């Protein structure tokens, strides 16, 4: 059975992005690994569960990939903290990381009352992160 081959387009960048590409292509990441393999490894850490989910892989396969991805990303976080002497997280990006739910409040215009929901939100994020974020949160909830 032949598998479909996918092509990675040529990437040309300057500035910070160019530095990343140069670093990934160097022997500093993993000697003799090569640029394409370094990029694919990096993409797998962040996007493998989403790709498998989109490709209609089994729920068990997606869950296993999510667990693998989380472990690799946590390892990368630990490496960055150690290498650059960062003792603790500078920002708590998601409420589940801090362990303390943030209440949702909304003012009722005609009465001036506030209501509170038990839904956890991050008041610093005011963008829609889409279905991938919702899917990731549901996977993390299942793991905890």
* Tens of pLDDT, residues 102-142: 444 333 334 444 444 434 333 333 344 455 556 555 655 55
Residue 109 forms part of a structural domain = yes
Average pLDDT, the chain: 74
Q: How far is CA 25 from the centre of its chain?
A: 22
Residue 7 forms part of a structural domain = no
The pLDDT of 56-62, averaged and rounded, is 96
Residue 48 forms part of a structural domain = yes
| Secondary structure of residue 128 in the 3-state scheme | coil
Band of residue 46 on the pLDDT scale cut at 50, 70, 90: very high
Residue 8 forms part of a structural domain = no
pTM of the model: 0.57
Range(s) of the domain holding residue 38: 15-119+130-143
Residue 5 forms part of a structural domain = no
- What's the full length of the chain, in residues? 144
Q: Are strands 104-108 and 113-117 parallel, antiparallel or unpaired?
A: antiparallel
Q: Taking the CB of residue 66, how many other CB atoms lie within 10 A of it? A: 22
Residue 84 forms part of a structural domain = yes
Residue 125 forms part of a structural domain = no
Q: Taking the CB of residue 5, how many other CB atoms lie within 10 A of it? A: 5
């Amino acid at each position: 059975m032949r598998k479909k081959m996918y092509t990675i387009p040529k990437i040309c960048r300057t500035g910070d992005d160019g530095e990343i590409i140069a670093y990934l292509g160097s022997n500093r990441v993993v000697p003799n690994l090569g640029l394409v393999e370094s990029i694919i490894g990096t993409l797998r850490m962040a996007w493998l569960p989403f790709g498998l989910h989109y490709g209609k892989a089994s729920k068990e396969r997606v869950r296993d990939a999510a667990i693998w991805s989380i472990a690799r990303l946590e390892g990368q976080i630990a490496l960055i903290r150690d290498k650059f002497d960062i003792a603790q997280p500078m920002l708590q990006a998601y409420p589940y990381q801090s362990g303390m739910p943030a209440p949702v409040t909304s003012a009722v215009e005609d009465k001036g009352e506030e209501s509170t929901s038990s839904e956890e939100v991050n008041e610093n994020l005011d963008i829609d992160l889409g279905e991938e974020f919702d899917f990731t949160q549901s996977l993390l909830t299942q793991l905890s």
